[in-house]
Amino acid sequence: MSDSNSIFDKDFVENLIPQKFPFVMVDKLLMFSENEITAGFTVPENNIFVKDGIFQEAGLIEHMAQSVALYTGYEYFLKQEPAPTGYIGAIKTIEILQLPKLGEEIETTVTILHEFMGVTLVDIVVKLNDKEIARSQMKTVLAN
């Protein structure tokens, strides 16, 4: 999936989220619109959540949350304002069907369902080679 607003510069993408190396789990912004973002991540060898060549569940969940953070960070970048820090407020549902391997690229689409007073409810779908491998519904909360 590529779009005219795709961003493949890892350093630029990292500057849009509050996390820093070695805790960065997004490296591409593939698509952005008013209520949706698609983020990408190629699982690197030096990732703290890789065990025996497999990206672990905790890393996949963190990748989902950082995909939401990337949405917020890019939204604020477009407004030329500093992005606030956010937190996972709740994970309503999560289903992990498959874990990606070292070197594989996942694409995660976050759909904003509702935003109100710093609380955002999102649907998240993670794909590997166009096959859904995980999904979640989360609430994120912006820090005051």
Strand order in the sheet with 131-142: 28-33, 36-42, 105-116, 119-128, 131-142, 86-96
Task: Examine residue 5 and state whether it is found in any structural domain, yes or no.
Answer: no
Task: Examine residue 3 and state whether it is found in any structural domain, yes or no.
Answer: no
- Domain with 65 in it: 10-142
* Tens of pLDDT, residue by residue, the chain (144 residues): 444 568 899 999 999 999 988 899 999 999 999 999 999 999 999 999 999 999 999 999 999 999 999 999 999 999 999 888 888 899 999 999 999 999 999 999 999 999 898 899 999 999 999 999 999 999 999 886
**CA–CA separation, 134 and 55 (whole Å):** 13
pTM of the full predicted structure?
Answer: 0.93
35: domain CATH number? 3.10.129.10
Task: Examine residue 42 and state whether it is found in any structural domain, yes or no.
Answer: yes
